Amino acid sequence: MGDPLRVAIAGLGTVGSGTVRLIEANAGLLAARTGREIVITAVADLDPRDRGFATESYRWYDNALAMAENTDADVIVELIGGAEGIARKVCETAIARGRHVVTANKALIAHHGTDLARAAEAAGVTLAYEAAVGGGIPVIKSLREGLVGNACERVYGILNGTCNYILTAMRESGRGFQEVLAEAQALGYAEADPSFDVDGVDTAHKLAILASVAFGCTVDFAAVHIEGIRQISADDIAFADELGYRIKLLGIAKRTPAGVERRVHPCMVPLGSPIAHVEGVFNAVVADGDFVDTIIQVGRGAGERPTASAVVADIADIARGNRVATFAVSAAELAALPAASMQNHRGAYYVRLMVLDKPGVFADIAAILRDHDVSMEAVIQRARAPGEAVPVVMTTHETAESAMTHCLAAIQRLPFCQEAPHMIRIEPF
C-alpha cells in the first residue's frame, strides 16, 4: 500500500462535517479501493462547536487561508462556498503551493473555473469539483470520462432540488408559490433568503459548468440566460396538466449553428418524457452523445451525505493517481465559443393571458399573432360573467423567441389586457 494521502478540510458546515464522517466511517473501504490510506490531518472553521466527531484528532485552524499556506496536506478540500473572498483565496493559495484542490463550490467554478483550471494545470495539480453539480450524481465523471468517446450536442436537467420540490408540491396540493416556498423553508429545503435557488442562479452556476465539460469551452456564466420560478402560478400548473405537460425549472446547454445556448428557465415538458417524472428534491441530468444516444442520471442533488459522497469520490481519484483535464480538455485548449442569442431561440410556447371577457377580444389577439407570424396550436378559455377578467391559455407551434417577445408586448398594450402576459417555453424532450 502506498503512502497515506493527507487531506485538509476548509469548512465544517453540513458538507464538510459529512465528508469527515464518511472518511472516518469508510476508511478501510477507501484504502482497499484506492491502495492508499486517506487521512485527515487538518480542518479549518471559525466555529469550534461540537460536530459529533473528534475534531481534536486533527490540527485545528480558525483561518482557512493559513491552513492552505502552512499545512503539510496533499489535498485541500474547500467547502466554504462563495465565488469570491476566502474560498477563492484558499483555492488559489493551495494550487500555488502545489496542493490538489477538491471543492463543492459551484459559484466559484462558474465564475473562476477557467482561471483556476489553468493555474492547476500549470502547477501540475488536480482541480476537482464533482460535488459542485448534481450532489451525489456523478455527472462530471460521466461527461468527462464515461462519454469521452462521444461528441455531446446537448446536456440539460433539473439541477436545483429546492425548485423541483416547490413545483412538485404546487402540483400535488394546488397551492400557490409563496405558500409552498414557506413550507420548503420550514422543512429546510429552502434558505431563509431563497433567491439563488428560486431565481435560477444556482441552476445557472451548474449549467455553466456542465456546458464547459460537455463542449470543451471556457466556463461562461455571463452567457447564461436566467429566469426563475417566482411567476409560476397554481393556474399554470393546472393548465400544464390539462395540456399533458409538467413544469420543471431546467438548465439547458445546446450547440446551435449560431453558437451555444445556455439557458435556465421554467419549461413545459411532455408527460411522456422521463424527466417529467423526477419529483421532489431529486435532480436529473440528461446528456445526448453521438454514439451513446441519450443517458439519464437521477439522484439527490444536495444534502450532507450525497454531496460528501461526491467530494470523497474526487479525493479517491487523487489517491489513485487518476489525472484528467479539469473540463475534459486541456485548459489551454478550452474554446471561447460564441453564445447564441436568446432572441434567436426557436420553439413552441405556452401563454397565459388575463383579459376582460367581451366581444372582439379574441379577434384582436388573433390578429396580433398573425401579424407576428405566430401560429396557435391549442386554446383554453374559461367562461365567466361578461365584463369580468378571464384567463385565456394558448400554445403555439414552433416560432422565434423574438416573434413571441414582440407579440406579447403588443398584446399587453391592448386595453382589455389586465396583466402582463405570462409565457413558458415548451421543450419537446
The C-alpha atoms of residue 286 and residue 292 are separated, in whole angstroms, by 12
| Phi, psi dihedral angles at 98 (to 5 degrees) | 80, 25
| Phi, psi dihedral angles at 357 (to 5 degrees) | -85, 95
CA distances from 258 to 2, 117, 155 (A): 50, 27, 17
What SS3 state is found at 225? strand
Here the cell at position 410 is 403588443
Q: Is 89 a catalytic residue?
A: no
Give, in degrees to the nearest 5, the angle at Cα 139 between 135 and 145: 140
Compute the residue count for the chain: 429
Burial of 131 (0-12, 13-18, 19+ CB in 10 A): buried
The Cβ of residue 98 has, within 10 Å, a number of other Cβ atoms equal to 10
Angle between helices 161-173 and 177-186 (to 10 degrees): 120
Q: State the catalytic residue, choosing from 106, 141, 206, 248.
A: 206
The C-alpha atoms of residue 254 and residue 157 are separated, in whole angstroms, by 12
The C-alpha atoms of residue 36 and residue 38 are separated, in whole angstroms, by 6
What SS3 state is found at 145? helix
Give, in degrees to the nearest 5, the angle at Cα 153 between 106 and 345: 85
β-strand partners of 178: none
Max CA distance (Å), the chain: 83
What residue ranges in 231-360 does DSSP mark as E strands?
245-256, 259-270, 282-289, 293-300, 346-356
Query: Would you please indicate which residues are annotated as catalytic (active-site) residues?
Result: 206
